[in-house]
Structures are given as structure tokens and as C-alpha cells.
Structure 1
């Protein structure tokens, strides 16, 4: 007579029968439900955590790349005879052309930068001015987004583009005139007098980052050259590339195209510390949530140990009927594995649904709490999205199945080694 193949249909039937058994029949339905619900919640929590982590990093990087240069090219300082250090780029047009010719570069824009005190009526705030050509400003995704901006960007050549939080701080709107005061003004025989200029607010942008919207204002490039005494020169060149994640591969050709005095500052240089901290936090969070999955999986051991104890008579009968130790092991392994598998599947469904509707759930929680659950002034970005990634879901499923199936082997092995004579002695 041929020996049945491992994991035959009858093994699944016995395992399913034990899984559905009520306590009065010697089953452990309560422990089964506790184990299943525990694994379900642990897997769902792990998927939600990974999705929120991925969404936060994606939004954080998107706001950086969408409102800032991927690479900033500037010159080494040169000390003049008067002792002043100058970093200006006199031949910025030629340098910009050479940078634009580098393979992988999508945009090069000359900038004039400076700091001013902005005044409107009784309100004032410090701002960082970016002097940029209108056509270059229109190529910055997070700034020139008509869905988030207010006003008409085509009116920028005759005014300024102000960040949303800066406009709120000053209390200005489209058409208001803001006064700029710079300490580095006109040089006279009696020293340097402050430079004052008045500019109409033509556009109010929302970059998605609080620190940018709070401190940044864009001014037409030619006007910024006049205002900051930069006639005929630029302070730096901002460069956008095709693949910002691999910007370091373009460092050598960009430095060569920039000239002998050229220095580079990439977006990873400015945000690298925070991104590395996110990676460490990701690892720690995954380990912590994995412990939850492990604790939930441990409940399977409790349930199966009780089941093996209650089913000692059944095990003895099955062994006398010809079932091998391997068959008994597989029966009880399947019993625990089904709990882990069903709990994992339900956890994936709940976790994915929570991540998909995370924005609506967060809005509801924020409303129920009276606001302030996610403060952009504290967090840096205005929204906390959730981003489902297949790799994250797969890692959560793999971890849950590995732990729940692996732990199931312990009581299943004990059941398989039970002596049928001892099991039936007192029956």
C-alpha cells in the first residue's frame, strides 16, 4: 500500500476540524481567536507603519527636490585688495551654458541671493530673497504649481512671489505692496546706507514645506541684481538633474564645467543627515513592530499546547490507525499555520485599506481632536501621506508567516513524539 504524500487532503481536513473545534469538544477556539486577532493587528500595524514611513520620506524628499536646486554651483571666495571676499560669478551665462551641456542636466538657472527685512504696515519679518528669471521660476514644480499657488505667475516680472506662511505672517495678499529693507545698500562717503524698495505681491506659492514658505521670496533676476548691487554678476547657479537620487555621479562633470573656482552643494549634502536619521528610525521601527508580530505569534504556541494536551486520545488513535510521526506533525503544524496565514491575510487587508484611506482617517482624527494633530510648523511638511510599497507589504507578510509557521513547529513536534500507548493508557 502506497504511503500518502506529505500534506495530503486528509491532513488538511483534520487540521481544519481541530481549528474549528469548540472548547466542549476539546478544542481551544478562544485561544485560536486571540492568536488570529493578535497576528492580524500586528501585521496591520506593521504595514501601516511602513506605509506612513515611506509616505513621509517621499513627501519630505519631494518638497526638497520640488522647490530647491538639486545641485548648487558657486565659486570659491576671492579676497580683493580692500580685504573683502567675493564669490560672485561674472561669466554666469557661459558657465550656465557649459553646465546645461552636461548629460543628465535638465535645467540651469542663475541666482542672486540676499536677505531683507520685509515690512507691511505694522508687521515685519526676515526673508531670504532669490533673484531668478521668470522663465526659470516657472520650471520649479512646487513653486509654479497653479493648484497650490495664489495669483498669476505671469505677473511675476512686475512683482514678487512670496511664500504662503510669509504672506500670512505679514498679512498680505495679491496686489499688496511690501517694503524691503536691506542693510547692504548704497555706499556713500559716510558709510553704507540701507537700501529700501517696494514691490507688489504678484504670486503666493505653497511649496509644501513650512521653512521654505516662511522665509523665501522670489524676485525678478534683473531687479535683484540692481537691489543687491550685483549688476552683471550672479551669486550662484542652481542645477536640476534627471535622477536626483544619483546626483553624486554628476559631481565630477559639473565641477569641471563650472570652472576652476567651482564648488558644489547637492541636496543630499543639505538633507543627508536627516535622511540618514530616517533610515535609522526605519530600522528601529521595523524591529519594534516585528516584536509585536512575534508576541502575537507566541499565542499560537499557547493554543497548540492546549490543543495537543486535549487531543492526546485522538493522537493515540490516529497513530494506531497508521499515521506516522510526520503526519501528526504536519496536522498540528497546519492547524497553527492556518491561524497565522488567515491572520496575516486579514492584517494585510486592514493595513492596506488603512494606508489607502490614511488621509481621510488623519483628517477625521484631527477634527475629532480639535486640530493640531499634525502641525506643519513643527513637522516641517504640511501633510503626512501614506505610501504603500509592494516591498514593504511583502516584508510584513514574509515576517509574519516565518514567525507564525516557525513557532508552530514547536508544539507540533511535541505532538508527533507523543507515545500512543501513553496517550491511550488512561482512556
Structure 2
């Protein structure tokens, strides 16, 4: 008899018929359903986890890039020896010709913005309430270059009045009970220098803008002040603390480091957003790999049920295998029939898992709302996680990884019982029939 074409129509027909076990073969049917449900839940969990992890990382990075510079250029401190006291003093690095430095940096191809910044820490107070705040002295143009700060949907006030007041985070506004138009008192430890020593500087500023950057630590501590006012307030007349730089592609920010150093001159140093968040981003990447491995093991365990179900099916179909072999079916045809039985289970379970995983990822907000309600509202603490909600981001590469892994494991585990069926001796199978 001529060899049949691999995966012919009759092989699919026999496999599908065997997969739909009769009531007399309830054990096989039960194992098939267990395998199907296990693979479905495993793929669903894998897709949902990958989507949430990708969404969390994307949201975390977006809050960094949307409210912070991509690179920061600053100067190393210098050490000055005093002959009279025979002591060495450390002078903080300042950007004295900051306008020229910012102009040279802005001229670098790929750099979109470069602005001088004055930074300092203060105590913000309103009535009997107070909070530690970090002040950024910037120009109005620099503030407008930060999308998370200037988002009209999450902010209040008029940014065009920035030169006549200050902008504060929504966390500070909430804790101090401050609104637009209120006067906020800022207290700096290093203020005016008098013969009696340095006294704290206390100034009152009108709140003209309240922003929500999406990061708990930023919204709770950050205050923006006009550059000229910050220079006067922090005794930085004619200098800046650093130059903040925005580039076209923040993911490749390291490509501009050498150019920035050359443009800034001697003693210049560069600190990128990746440097500032490297430990956290590395931890996220490591957790992603670990979670993928753990969930892959769960999918493997679910796939192993296919092996159990096929072994039972082969045992129950021993007479049928003997008859098919005597009718002329080759070992290859028998192998493919039982391989298709397991493959069908893996494919159907994978498709169902993908659908449920995508639905879960698209409705993660509703799921977290239900979890918050059941847990009393403590399921997601922004003070710990940094961002206000649990996001999810479906990526084609994650779907491909989940689908590929599930199908690969499902196909692999069917080979052993399928080969066992193919090698069954038809004479032995029919001896007692």
C-alpha cells in the first residue's frame, strides 16, 4: 500500500473522534478537560502577568521621563586650601556660565531642550501644617517641556502665571490643604548671612499651579519656582546647580553622554535617568524573568496532563489501533493521529487562555477595584509602589512568547504516548478480542 500523505484528512478525523470520548470512556474525557482547563488557566496567568509587568514598567518609566530630565549635566566640586587656617574646604560645583553651556548642549543633534536648574530643599508650611519639599528653580520654557507636569487633564491653575508664583505637586497641596491662589510659606535652612551667622530664609509665594505627575514621591515633595527667584532665594546669584537635558530618544540616552561632556567642558559630569533608576529597572527585569520561568513551569505542569490523558486513550483504543494497523495504516499515521489528539487539546486551551488573558489585561482596573473593595482599599498603596494604579500593557512579543511556549510544551508532551501507540503490535492488540 502506498504511503499516505502526512496529516491527511482522515488522520484529523480519527483524532477528533478519539478526542470526543464517549461516556464509557469517562476517564479519558475527564483527563482531557483537566488538561484543557489547566492549559487555559496557565496561559491566561502568563499573559496577564506579562501584561501587568510591562504596563507597570512602562508607567514607571513614563513618570520618570515625563517629570524629570533625561540627562543632567553638573560639575564636580573643587577643593580649596586655606593657607591661614591650613584647612581644605570643598566648594560645591556650580555652573557659572550656564547660558552658554545650555546653548552649546542644545546645539547637539538629537537634544531637544537644555535648561539651567537651581535645586534646594525647604520646609513648606501652611498654617500649622508643614512638609519637606524639594524646590526646582527653572524657567517657564523648561517647565513646559515636561509633559507630566503640564498635562491639563491632571493639573489645575494657569501655567502662564508661573513667573509670579510657584507650582507645587498635588500631594503637597493635599497634605497642606493648599489651593490655587493660596500663599505657601517656604523656609530654607541656609538663608541670609548676617554678622551673627546664617539665618533661615522665610518667604511666602502664591500657588499658581498644581500638577499631578503620576509618581507619589514627586507629587508629594516637588515645588517649581522661577529660576531668577530661586537663585536669589538659595544664594545662587549668577550660577546654576546643573543643566537638565532632554533628548529625542530617552531609551538611548547614553548615546549622548560623550557629546554632553565635550560640550560642557572640564570637570563636567553626566547623570542620566537610567543611572538614577538603574537598580529599580534591573530589579524589574530580573522579576520579569523569574515570573516567566515560574509561570512557564505552571504551563508545563498543565501540559503534562495531556500525557496522562493520551496514555489512557492509547490503552482504551488498543483494539482500534490493531484494526487500523491491519487495514494498512502505518506507524507514522498512528503516531500522527494521537499526536493530533494532544495537539488539539493544547491548541484549544491556548486559544481560550489567550482570550481570557487579554480580557483580564484590558479590565485590570475593574479587577483591582474589586480586590480593593474586598481588601478594604489596601491592595495598592502608592506610597509603596510609587504610582497610583496598576496598569497593563499588551505587547505582541508577550503574546507570541505565551502562545509559543504553550504550543511547544503541548506538542512535546504528546510525542511519548503517540510513539507508544505507533509501536503497538497489532497482533498483541487483537489477541484477546
TM-score clears 0.5: yes
Q: How far does the alpha carbon of each residue in 1:144-192 deviate from its partner, in whole angstroms, 9 at most, with x for none? A: 1111112221221111111111111212111111111111111111111
**Which residue of the partner structure matches residue 292 of structure 1?**
298
Please state if 1:242 is matched with 2:248.
Answer: yes
Match of 2:341 in 1: 335
Is the aligned partner of 1:48 residue 2:48?
yes
Paired with 1:415 and 1:361, the residues of 2 have a C-alpha distance of 45
Q: Residues of 1 paired with 2:336 and 2:313: CA distance?
A: 14
1:78 CA displacement: 2.2
Structure 1 residue corresponding to 2:311, chosen from 302, 305, 311 = 305
SS at match of 2:99: helix
Q: In the alignment, what sits opposite 1:254? A: 260
Distance apart, 1:86 and its partner CA: 2.8
Q: Counterparts of 1:5 and 1:86 in 2: how far apart (Å)?
A: 80
The whole-number CA distance in structure 1 between the counterparts of 2:326 and 2:372 is 63
Q: Which residue is equivalent to 1:230?
A: 236
Offset at residue 84 of structure 1 (A): 4.7
Deviation at 1:90, TM superposition (A): 1.0
Post-superposition CA distance 1:98-120 (Å, at most 9, x none): 00001110111110111111111
Q: How far did residue 350 of structure 1 move?
A: 0.8
What is the CA–CA distance in structure 2 between the aligned matches of 1:59 and 1:102, rounded to whole Å?
29
Equivalent residue runs for 1:31-180 within 5 Å: 31-80=31-80, 83-180=89-186
What's the CA shift for 1:25? 5.1
1:119 and 1:359 map into 2 onto residues whose CA distance is 35
Q: 1:121 & 1:160 partners in 2: Cα distance?
A: 18
Q: 2 CA distance for matches of 1:84 and 1:421?
A: 94
Partners of 2:182 and 2:162 in 1: CA distance: 14
Match of 1:191 among 189, 197, 214: 197
Q: Secondary structure at the match of 2:224?
A: strand
1:213 aligned to which of 216, 219, 225: 219
CA distance in 2, matches of 1:139, 1:80: 37
How far apart are residue 37 of structure 1 and its match?
0.7
Aligned pairs, how many? 427
Pairing partner for 1:382 from 361, 384, 388: 388
Are the aligned partners of 1:18 and 1:27 in contact in 2 as well (CA < 8 Å)? no
Q: Provide the C-alpha distance between the structure 1 equivalents of 2:277 and 2:300, rounded to a whole number of angstroms.
A: 35
* Other structure's SS at 1:233 match: coil
SS of equivalent to 1:143: helix
Q: Does 1:320 align with 2:326?
A: yes
Shift of 1:367: 2.9
Find the residue that maps to 1:180 and give its secondary structure.
strand
1:81 Cα shift?
6.1
Normalised TM-score (structure 2): 0.96
SS at match of 2:108: coil
- Counterparts of 1:131 and 1:319, CA distance in 2: 85
- Tell me if the contact between 1:114 and 1:228 (Cα under 8 Å) persists in the aligned partners: yes
Q: Is the 8 A contact 2:150 2:211 kept in 1?
A: yes
- Cα RMSD of the aligned pairs, angstroms, is 1.3
| Alignment partners' CA distance in 1, 2:181 and 2:226 | 16
Distance in 1 between residues matched to 2:363 and 2:390, nearest whole Å:
12
Q: Is 1:26–1:310's contact at 8 Å kept on the other side of the alignment?
A: no
Give the alignment of 1:4-23 within 5 angstroms.
4-23=4-23
* Matched residue SS, 2:113: strand
Distance (whole Å) between structure 1 residues aligned to residue 265 and residue 19 of structure 2:
74
1:14-70 CA deviation, whole Å, 9 max, x = no partner? 000001122415771111111111101100100001000100100011011111111
Asked whether the 8 Å contact 1:138–1:144 carries over to 2, the reply is yes
| Residue 351 of structure 2, aligned match among 345, 352, 359 | 345
User: In the aligned structure 2, how far is the partner of 1:341 from the partner of 1:140?
Assistant: 47
- 1:52 and 1:109 map into 2 onto residues whose CA distance is 35
* 2:286 pairs with one of 280, 296, 301: 280
Does structure 2 conserve the Cα–Cα contact (< 8 Å) formed by 1:21 and 1:28? yes
- Tell me what 1:3 maps to: 3
Runs of 4+ residues over 3 Å off in structure 1: 79-82
Distance 1:161 1:23 in 2: 72
State the Cα distance separating 1:359 from its structure 2 match.
Answer: 1.9
C-alpha distance in 1 between matches for 2:376 and 2:97: 55
CA contact (8 A) 1:75 1:236 kept: yes
For the 8 Å contact 2:76–2:268, the answer to whether it is kept is yes
Structure 2 residues not aligned, in runs of 5+? 83-88
Unaligned runs of 5+ in 1: none
